[in-house]
Structure 1
């Protein structure tokens, strides 16, 4: 017997362990079944489950369980990413508490320590994914630094280098001064920061007393200025183009150039150009062939080596000794000293408060520096062309389709990909350096030695490159490296290309595009056929979740409070294509109530002798009630399958919620009670048969999103043994005789009862009061149907009798129209209709006033310009809600007869 109350905590771990132990999660390449494959976006090995992971993995699990039930050989590939900078940071902090440093330990000892940490503490998130119910193929779990994947990384690097698609170059990169490495754009977090814009005067060469003014937020980088840029059509500076200015403090002469980058409408219209310390300035420097001296070192301290020979004294403008005194100072300390000196020299015009977005390292938390360094690059533009083509031709499709525009925008303007990092943890670059600037990119040291011997005719000393590869490089190979490439494995032959990638929009460029580039290049085939993009999970007001705001929802706490099924169903139900998710605890609690509703309905069935009846044939059903619920199950099956085929997770959840809660748990159970409570006989047997059949369909349809409660009910009610629902077949429509007639019959009764209930609720009729129901203009069949279901109508609509009304309606009725019939409830002696009308009018007035307020905000240009996105979205939703409320109140007012 099922427990009286549904308690997720008592069954989730047991059920998950049973399913995993049964092998139900595992694919079998030897099995004669069509493959279905998803690779998990590998979470960082340092990570723990956050709400974004919960959403992403829930959607993947729904698809995998659905296709598994359809008989596909489903492989959901698990694994984790070594997360270069994040993992190195974790372990550096750990050894720091022990009084050690990375450099003090040495590279080999430090890497051993990271591997030890990974073995002890690196599996947190995989354990948490089990709590979520993720049915990953755990025996196949991979790690981006494991032996097989490392082999794939080296193979790809060597091949691309030999093809000329990997090379070394000196370019500007995002530089983290704390970790002293290049970082990707995704590891850069822009933060709002209050500061100043300083306007500086640069003397014009040969024109005493004439200056050109520039505005800057980075005065400390002026030591590396190599030009001043003005717009070609800016008449104010037309005579200065081609002239030179004196760079304050250093005395260096720099050209004044014409370039479209300068905006005449911003600042002074002239901008200082520091190519080695600004990405936009770097572009100007390339266009005008400017020198690019670096004036900050790896730790963002003043570094003068590249400008020391250019320092010259200029009275009232430049003092080499002052500049030399800046050497080794932190950038922000130097900024203060430089501003003070410029003020002393009367070259500082003004300082204005200014708030701007400053890029920070997301791990170090300090402002990053654009820095000119020698790095390894991948020719992304060449690799991008085939990836663009497969999306253009539809071979790979984005869902929703509008994300293809984002993909194209990035890919058609793609820049060389910096793939090297100045870290110790990661795939070390397989390059060895020899005499005379030679380098040898090979699969191992022996091959590099052999290549060097062939070049020099003797053994020479080689030194391996110290750098490691960008984490995105190894994860770009994920769809085929995890399947065993470069070996020809059975998994690779069957499961590549994969079917679907489910991911967030923020890594379309960093991960999705790069997997496409690498997959097409090395496998000759796209890595996946569909890319399903989901939104961000935000708080209930639409604000981005952050610890500083205190609005973060921890999925593990939500699971503890509501059960994994409720968490999963909520995320699925809210996952509308192209929209972010507004998540609240109240929504989660509501869907926990849904799981409880299903449990209680199943318990009701069990208590009334409704358990699995293998072999029961729905085609034998003769009663309208049985045929109606069987037909409804067919419709729900079709709707759920179509939604999942189209990746409409919200529609899938909505269809099942509607059918399970409304059609089965409410209406069917209520209609069935008189039969089930009555004498034994053919009608009771048929109701029981239909009930057990439909409940079995519901459990199978819900299983992909609610695996725990459905598996428990499946087993307890005798549909199958332990861990068998996960292998059960996805439902198919069953023949139902005279389904249309049954649908008309029961849907008509449901509409009638629902309208009467709605009327009573709108005018506040107490549940304890029963009233007569007057019906006017009804067709004979409508009245006959009401007669056949009079017991249910009386019980569920709280009416005493149904009476046909001829002529004029009596005073004091509240009415509704259902089909051709007008329903009337005589309520004059029950409630004060005048007071109800006044109450409804007052509520309408409140709603109308709120609409006016919101529309006034939307008509305010200043509000629309300054309001945060989530505030605008919240007001838009409030406007929709109040508009709908007025429509509801108008309908209610229209029901009350004058």
Structure 2
């Protein structure tokens, strides 16, 4: 047994134990014949560093992994990083820019080599940070989405989907990021409210018979207009349908068409249609019979104006940015009389009316996103989604909490084709080759593509790479060795048991894993999907660098230890609800760790050592029977909570048991009695029971607080194995003794009531008192006799037969009244006066707060936090008034 130091220092033991676990291969699945259990880590970006969301996500996963290991399962937690195409290329390009270099100064191969060099030297910092959090991942088999085996799986999926007609090339509008020079997904676009303008334009009919009015927030796009749409039911325009408009500036002739997109109730009821630069207009254009390859594209990859196919954009507008083109187009329209002025409420004319416009921005580049017409690769997500939808409906995949199912179904049932190509150099290069005649050959290798094309046909490989989410969608099976069918890891590890994920990547990643996993493996990728909430700032606001409210989990670990942060995350995670960051709570769980540490120091000093048996020791004393029953109850509560993925329920069950039942009560109840200068000793039975309970606590608490529990496990005595691979406790109800439990529960309530009553009337803690009991039944009297010594020690109250007269405290427990005379202990008159004044003051504040809360104006107009504080203060003052009133009544 190693003697514990007086102070608990998390930093030293965290580093020591993590190195021990990893060096000894204790995270590796190595239990032949045991039930396999598998979870995969959402691969963090190789560019990333640990943020508070990672801390939550990985804590929850580690709790499940360590729990499965303790249950005897062959637990595998797959770890790896994502190559993060856009993010990584941005990091390396910024690094090059500091040396006055550009990506285009190098060949593609040279640039990719530089990225690999950066990855080896600087990438993967987050994996070291995950170790600091205590994550028990299988580091010996760490994966990377660009490693050779994984890349082979990615290419096979692309080729197979293409052969099956589920992946194809098409010309469509995409979200184009001019800053990054690539297409991005809808999920990578953030919408901001921007102050803008709404211009009203007069488009002349080609026959000179009049004008039609349209309105737009983007007048520059009229350079690529291809139609004006009106609603077929709009009688104002029936006679104009089929006629042509001669556009200002370009002189292009465009038709007036009918389409339901035009709402007669909005504006003039006529809408300009620019199918090459607006998603709604693209669909209108298709319905009007305009082929995608005939749609006009007036912007280049940097969102600068270029000439369109009919050559009608004036030369002086070419090369302008969208902002510059807007000013120039508005100026010309105004000069030529095609701009309709807007008159404000004061009668003043303006070129446009002010509008707040929902504007799309790239979440990484921060630039305005342009709808842009390009050729891209698409996956038929609607077809792949159907089996995934059915898997959730049938229960083959259980989403927890179930409330997320509605969101899942709504998105999946309305899913659009998935654009999977990106215009980057870093990533999985698309395995497609183009011939000069426009033919495309998709194959695993260039040699296979050449064989398809025939000898002598010059081929050029597609320069695009695949969307990062395309490769990470294969994570549950590509990490297991697929497509190698002989892979020993694959069998028994797919499907995974559970996936832990933030709700914010439900569609980025989780749904796509379902689609790809079911399609290629013929089974769901995981049996359960647990979606947790976000970690928010203390005031409930979303954390962001711009707000300055981001919390660094590594700083919290430095200050309070990883165990305290982990326990906070578990205790606050309530089935997907967002978590408010509360550093005081983290500090409180550090105090919890210290309390357990001190309890084990107390045990050591009193000869309590590690247990040698899984089963509870035989017990005769009621206090020992009680703590054994309490331990079993705690095991049952934790088992049920973890089975339902109620992390808060499991954490709080073990917290309450350790702090209240074991430390605050059991150790006090068995504490040796001091007799003069001599210290008594704990009886042998209680030593055995206490040692067993500590062992159960350490195992139960290990998934949540792995470092301190491993340290205490070894400190309590010699062990055959480390705690990380110990056995989970059994909730054996055969050890229960209801009568003993009831007696100790009664004892705790009695002592608590006496202590509270003494405190309320200002009796010093060390003051010894006499106590008389009235109306007690035979069972209560028997309990009083058996527990008299403990009551005298913990409540400072000795049972006497006769109660002297005068003022007294009165405490009622289970129908019996316990009377504690106050004569000679306190001045009753002074105490009654103090309590009466306290009651009046608390009641006055309570009533004033009730008045404020009853004022509808205050409740409606005050800040929510002010109303909440008033409610909390009212509840506090109400409780105080009740408590003091009860104390006054007790004086008798």
Compute the TM-score of the two structures, normalised by the length of structure 1: 0.90
Deviations 1:679-735 (A, max 9, x none): 9999711111111100100000000010000000001111526x7000000011246
| 2:727 aligned residue (713, 726, 729) | 729
RMSD across aligned C-alpha pairs, in angstroms? 2.9
* Residue 472 of structure 1: aligned partner: 469
Asked whether the equivalents of residues 760 and 884 of structure 2 are also in contact (C-alpha less than 8 Å), the reply is no
Cα 1:816/1:275, change in 2 over 3 Å: farther
What is the match of residue 658 of structure 1? Answer: 656
Give yes or no for contact 2:423–2:463 (8 Å, CA) kept in 1.
yes
Greater Cα shift, 788-797 or 637-646? 788-797
Q: Any conservation in 1 of the 2:378–2:421 contact (CA below 8 Å)? A: yes
After superposition, the C-alpha distances for 1:118-160 in whole angstroms (9 at most, x for unaligned) are 0011120000000000000001110000000011011111111
1:11-41 deviations in Å (ceiling 9; x for gaps): 101100001111110013x711111000100
Identify the residue that residue 300 of structure 1 maps to in structure 2. 303
1:567 aligns with 2:565: yes
Q: Is the counterpart of residue 179 in structure 1 residue 180 in structure 2?
A: yes
Deviation at 1:363, TM superposition (A): 1.7
Q: Which residue of 2 is the match for residue 429 of structure 1?
A: 430
After TM superposition, the structure 1 = structure 2 runs for residues 118-129 of structure 1, keeping only pairs within 5 Å, are 118-129=119-130
CA distance in 1, matches of 2:519, 2:236: 52
How far apart are residue 223 of structure 1 and its match?
1.8
Q: Distance in 2 between matches of 1:363 and 1:515?
A: 24
Match of 2:316 in 1: 325
* Cα deviation, residue 432, structure 1: 1.3
Q: How does 1:103-502 map to 2 (within 5 A)?
A: 103-204=104-205, 206=207, 210-214=211-215, 216-230=216-230, 244-263=244-263, 269-290=269-290, 292-308=295-311, 311=312, 323-346=314-337, 347-350=339-342, 351-453=352-454, 458-488=455-485, 489-502=487-500
Q: CA deviation at 1:405?
A: 1.3
1:23 aligned to 6, 25, 44, which one? Answer: 25
Measured in 2, the distance between the counterparts of 1:222 and 1:639 equals 66
Shift of 1:349: 2.4
- Residues 452, 460 of structure 1: 8 Å contact kept: yes
| Aligned position for 1:699 | 698
- Deviation (angstroms), 1:348: 4.2
What is the CA deviation profile of residues 508-551 of structure 1, one whole-angstrom value per residue up to 9, with x for unaligned ones?
11211111111111111111000000000001111000111111
- Residues in 1 aligned to 2:506 and 2:264: alpha-carbon distance in whole angstroms: 35
2:611 corresponds to which residue? Answer: 613
Distance 1:393 1:294 in 2: 46
Contact (CA 8 Å) 1:847, 1:885: kept in 2 or not? no
Which deviates the most, 509-518 or 775-784? 775-784
Specify which of 734, 740, 749 is matched with residue 751 of structure 1: 749
CA distance in 2, matches of 1:774, 1:516: 70
Task: Provide the rounded CA distance (Å) in 2 between the counterparts of 1:648 and 1:785.
Answer: 38
Gap change, CA 1:893 and 1:208, over 3 Å in 2: farther
Match of 2:346 in 1: none
* 1:236–1:749 distance in 2 versus 1, CA, 3 Å: farther
Q: Which one of the candidate residues 669, 675, 679 is aligned to 1:671?
A: 669
Give how far 1:179 is off. Answer: 1.5
Distance 1:849 1:38, change over 3 A: farther
Distance 1:837 1:304, change over 3 A: same
Q: 2: CA distance between counterparts of 1:656 and 1:767?
A: 30
| 1:626-641 alignment, distance < 5 Å | 626-641=624-639
How many Å apart are 1:343 and its aligned residue? Answer: 3.2
Q: 2:79 aligned with 1:89, yes or no?
A: no
Post-superposition Cα deviations, 1:452-503, rounded to whole Å, max 9, x if no partner, equal: 22xxxx3322111111111011101110000000112111012111100000
Give the one of 882, 885, 888 matched to 2:879.
Answer: 888
Note if contact 2:672-2:679 (Cα within 8 Å) is conserved in structure 1.
Answer: no
* Aligned 1:796-807 pairs, distance under 5 A: 796-797=794-795
Would the aligned equivalents of 1:630 and 1:736 in 2 still touch at CA under 8 Å? Answer: no
Gap change, CA 1:298 and 1:858, over 3 Å in 2: farther
Q: Is the CA contact (8 Å cut-off) linking 2:57 and 2:500 kept in structure 1? A: yes
Partner Cα distance (2:813, 2:232) in 1: 73
Query: Is residue 2:16 matched to residue 1:14?
Result: yes
**Structure-2 separation of matches of 1:299 and 1:228:** 27
Task: After superposing the two structures, state which structure 1 stretch, 590-599 or 843-852, moved more.
Answer: 843-852
- Where does residue 534 of structure 2 map in the other structure? 536
Structure 2 unaligned spans of 5+: 343-351, 823-827
Shift of 1:785: 2.7
Task: Mark the CA change 1:128 to 1:230 in structure 2 (over 3 Å): closer, same or farther.
Answer: same
Report the Cα distance in structure 2 between the residues aligned to 1:477 and 1:727, rounded to whole angstroms.
30
1:618 touches 1:735 (CA, 8 Å); kept in 2?
Answer: no
Cα deviation for residue 406 of structure 1 reads 1.3
Aligned to 2:48, what secondary structure does the other structure show? Answer: coil
* More displaced stretch, 657-666 vs 200-209: 200-209
3-state SS of 2:490 partner: helix
The alpha-carbon distance between structure 1 residues 748 and 480, as it changes in their structure 2 partners (threshold 3 A), is same
Offset at 1:337? 1.9
Are residues 300 and 746 of structure 1, via their aligned partners in 2, closer, same or farther at CA, if it must alter by over 3 Å? same
Residues 260, 751 of structure 1: alpha-carbon distance in 2 compared, 3 angstrom cutoff: farther
- Alignment CA distance shift 1:90-1:761 (3 Å): farther
Unaligned runs of 5+ in 1: 312-319, 864-870
Task: Give the deviation of 1:812 after TM superposition.
Answer: 8.8
Summarize deviations over 1:580-618 as a string: whole Å, max 9, x none: 000121111111111111111111111111111314863
CA contact (8 A) 1:536 1:580 kept: yes
- 5 Å matches for 1:28-67? 28=30, 31-67=32-68
Distance 2:211 2:551 in 1: 60
The answer to whether the Cα contact below 8 Å between 2:377 and 2:420 also exists between their aligned partners in 1 is yes
Contact 1:390 1:396 in 2 (8 A): yes
Instruction: Tell me if structure 1 keeps the 8 A contact 2:606–2:681.
Output: no
Q: What number of residue pairs does the alignment pair up?
A: 865
Query: What CA distance in whole angstroms lies between the structure 2 residues aligned with 1:804 and 1:653?
Result: 47
Report the TM-score when normalising by structure 2: 0.91
Specify the SS of the correspondent of 1:437.
Answer: coil
- Secondary structure (helix, strand or coil) at the match of 2:491 reads helix
Q: Does the CA-based 8 Å contact 1:35-1:73 persist in structure 2?
A: yes
C-alpha distance 207-460 of structure 1, shift in aligned 2 (>3 A): closer
